[in-house]
Amino acid sequence: MARVETMGVVVSVERTHETLTILVYDGCGRIPCTLFLQTTARTRSCCFEDNRRFPERCLTGCASKTVTEYNPNYQLHHQPPPTDFVIAIPRPPPPQLISSRNLLSPSSLTTTPGLSKRSFTYEELAISTNNFSMNNVLGEGGFSLVYKGTLTNGREVAIKRLKDTHRQPDLEFMKEVDILSLVHHRHLVSLIGFYVSELICLLVCEYVPNKTLEFHLHGRNGSTLAWRHRFRISLDSAKGLEYLHEDCNPRVIHRDIKSANILLDHQFRAKIADFGIAKHVSDETTHISTVVKGTYGYLAPEYASTGKLTDKSDVYSYGVLLVELITGRKPLGLADWARPLLQKAMEDAIYDALIDPFLDNDYDPVEAGRMVACAAACLCHAAALRPSMSQICRALEGCISFGDQKSVQSPPGSSSANTLFQSVLTP
């Protein structure tokens, strides 16, 4: 087997009598494939498939490195080398980094004061993921893979990589970098850094070690998520959304709130992840007309039918998430199934028909009542009647409660969202 030295990251080397196949990830993301060994009794050289030629220097003993200059017309004449030899592949020209300022708004990649986002090299991230080994894959989306990586300082990270490497970085990826650069909250996944070149897009985020809420609710792990964790997750997620909707400048609509995008640590504290389709919204904007994106089962009805996006679209999705936590059921068709049961549970203050049967009635009825009431309000057909996320947070904490329960099902225009709640404790 030949030894290969390169400024890129060597993945594998295979040698036959006539060819030497070297799989290398270089800084530009291109992959040199096969070098053809052209051998006669007196001449031996090698070239890439595109006929760029590189001389081969033969070493004996334990020599560790050969540096060979690129010369397209050069051939080295010598006797056939021993089996063990070294080929040095020169570093390709450095990739031209693409600034998202050229693709997005002038405020792109503006970082929150006090926070710094590091720009990584491709080699660093390839090494941290064992050359993007499938054994390091944490999850897969429609357009990306997420890998677990370990940086040179020992820090574990999650690295998101777009699948399509044959096109320019798309606006959604750059928008995710932009939004994550601006937000900072304990219940949102934090951005650590990124790498963007002509063909490669990599996003480096904090690693949250205990998988997703979807895994713990619906996965085949043989255990049941305890009620205390479910209630804590509902409040953590609500606080993350409250920050996005009300405290960010500009405000952010996530657009894809679902159990698969709620990450958990070992204490089952929640962080909202995946801002790939999130949208900025100004205080003056009543709604955004956009292409409908998200996950079926979580989409607000007015958004799915008209494409008009507001923060109340996220509130609806959060309501579906609450019902998932309460019942343990999967989201498709869950909202329509749950509405009458939520209303009856609120009227009777009996929640056993809704609670996940795998909990064996091991739940707190006070906390269950708060979650049921919030879920019913969030799933209101009329967006204007849904509460804000700050109201949801206060309701889950027991600071406010429902006033007129029947207004949850009132027709549009009959009530304001504020009438769904009334103060029962001093804020």
Residue 45 pLDDT more than 90?
A: no
Residue 262 pLDDT more than 50?
A: yes
What is the tens place of the pLDDT at every residue in 96-123?
Answer: 343 333 333 323 333 333 345 678 999 9
Q: Give helix 334-348 / helix 311-327 axis angle, nearest 10°.
A: 70
What is the tens place of the pLDDT at every residue in 191-213?
Answer: 999 998 877 889 999 999 999 99
User: 160 among the known binding-site residues?
Assistant: yes
Domains and CATH numbers, the chain: 3-87 (no CATH), 100-206 (3.30.200.20), 213-423 (1.10.510.10)
| Pairing status of strand 201-206 against strand 137-140 | unpaired
**Residue 311: per-residue pLDDT:** 96
Q: Whose structure tokens read 């070294």?
A: 86
What is the tens place of the pLDDT at every residue in 81-97?
Answer: 334 334 444 343 344 34
30: Cβ–Cβ under 8 A, 6 or more apart, which residues? 92, 199
Q: Check: CB of residue 412 under 8 Å from CB of residue 385.
A: yes
Q: Check: CB of residue 76 under 8 Å from CB of residue 44.
A: yes
**Residue 284: per-residue pLDDT:** 66
**Residue 302: per-residue pLDDT:** 95
Q: Looking at per-residue confidence, does 171 or 162 come out higher? A: 162
**Residue 192: per-residue pLDDT:** 95
For residues 92 and 47, what is the distance between their CA atoms, to the nearest angstrom? Answer: 15
Q: Check: CB of residue 302 under 8 Å from CB of residue 283.
A: no
Chain centre to alpha carbon of residue 269: 17
Lowest mean pLDDT among 23-32, 185-194, 211-220: 23-32
Interval 357-383 mean pLDDT: 97
39: Cβ–Cβ under 8 A, 6 or more apart, which residues? 18, 80
Active site residues: 256
Residue 46 pLDDT more than 50?
A: no
For residues 294 and 287, what is the distance between their CA atoms, to the nearest angstrom? Answer: 17
What radius of gyration do the chain's Cα atoms show? 28
DSSP helix/strand/coil, 152: coil
Q: Whose structure tokens read 């070239």?
A: 47
Cis peptide before 340 (omega within 30 of 0): no
For residues 23 and 376, what is the distance between their CA atoms, to the nearest angstrom? Answer: 55
| Pairing status of strand 53-54 against strand 44-47 | antiparallel
Q: Check: CB of residue 369 under 8 Å from CB of residue 351.
A: yes
- Considering only CA atoms, which of 245, 243, 246, 276 is closest in space to residue 258? 276
**Residue 161: CA atoms inside 13 Å, Cβ hemisphere, count?**
24
- Give the chain's end-to-end CA distance (angstroms, integer): 73
- Considering only CA atoms, which of 98, 86, 37 is closest in space to residue 60? 86
For residues 16 and 19, what is the distance between their CA atoms, to the nearest angstrom? Answer: 5
Q: Check: CB of residue 45 under 8 Å from CB of residue 81.
A: no
For residues 392 and 219, what is the distance between their CA atoms, to the nearest angstrom? Answer: 28
What is the tens place of the pLDDT at every residue in 223-240?
Answer: 999 999 999 999 999 999
Confidence of residue 12 (pLDDT cuts 50, 70, 90): very low
Interval 346-359 mean pLDDT: 96
Residue 8 pLDDT more than 90?
A: no
As a whole-number percent, the residues of the chain with pLDDT over 90 amount to 53
The 10 Å Cβ neighbour count of residue 347 is 10
Q: Looking at per-residue confidence, does 396 or 410 come out higher? A: 396
Interval 11-27 mean pLDDT: 47
How high does pLDDT run on average in the chain? 75
% helix / strand / coil in the chain, to the nearest 5? Answer: 30, 20, 50
For the entire predicted model, the pTM comes to 0.71
Residue 406 pLDDT more than 80?
A: no
Q: Check: CB of residue 374 under 8 Å from CB of residue 315.
A: no
For residues 94 and 112, what is the distance between their CA atoms, to the nearest angstrom? Answer: 29
For residues 360 and 352, what is the distance between their CA atoms, to the nearest angstrom? Answer: 10
- DSSP of 229-252, one letter per residue? HHHHHHHHHHHHHHIIIIISSSEE
For residues 134 and 131, what is the distance between their CA atoms, to the nearest angstrom? Answer: 9
Q: Whose structure tokens read 């998932």?
A: 324
